[in-house]
Amino acid sequence: TREGGLCGAVQAAIGARCKALVTGIGAHSPRGDVLRIIAALKETQADVVVGFGGGSVTDAVKVATQCLTNDVTDMDGFDRLKVPHTGKPPTLPFIMVTARGDVESVIVAKEAGVSGFIRKPFSQRLLVERVKAILRRVAPKDPAAQKEADAKQLERGHLRMDPERHACTWKN
């Protein structure tokens, strides 16, 4: 997708937890573009990925999350995942923004590992809130962000409350 607009709004809303923006995904999700997404996700140790754009963008992100989970980082690795249902399912949360909303598309997206499905037209605020909700559930991989999150936790005896993730633990 391109910079600014919706991407800019999401970047502003999540602040320092926005680690990368990959733009210029070509038609039909070229493998080289998928490898660029994989490299960005791996380098930044992403907590969540949001795909804005048409089918090529969402397909590229779906493939990239599948590849990342299965340690595919080069052209040769794609062949290992050609057959459906080979390899581990994606573990990186992925929010897909799309114009498709039919039941079959939602089912296919869920089977491909999409964790959030937002149909166009949609509220910018809805997207930002979905990203924030996933980020609350996912512990940051960045040490500085983790330290900041830990500082916000409240402890009383064996009870620990994490207001960012909306979670409580008792005796770990």
Average pLDDT over residues 150-162: 79
Q: Which residues pair with 81 in a beta bridge?
A: none
Cα separation, 141 vs 146, in Å, equals: 7
Average pLDDT over residues 49-68: 85
* pTM across the whole model: 0.67
Task: Indicate the SS3 state at residue 170.
Answer: strand
pLDDT one-digit tens code per residue, 10-45: 888 888 888 888 888 999 989 999 999 999 999 988
3-class SS letters over 77-146 = HHHHHCCCCCCCCCCCCEEEEECCCCHHHHHHHHHCCCCEEEECCCCHHHHHHHHHHHHHHCCCCCHHHH
pLDDT the model gives residue 103: 81
* Distance, C-alpha 27 to centroid of its chain: 21
Cα separation, 20 vs 152, in Å, equals: 25
Q: How confident is the model at residue 1 (pLDDT cuts 50, 70, 90)?
A: very low
Strands 159-162 and 154-156: antiparallel
Is the pLDDT reported for residue 2 higher than 60? Answer: no
pLDDT one-digit tens code per residue, 89-120: 777 888 888 777 778 877 877 777 787 888 87
Strands 94-98 and 167-170: unpaired
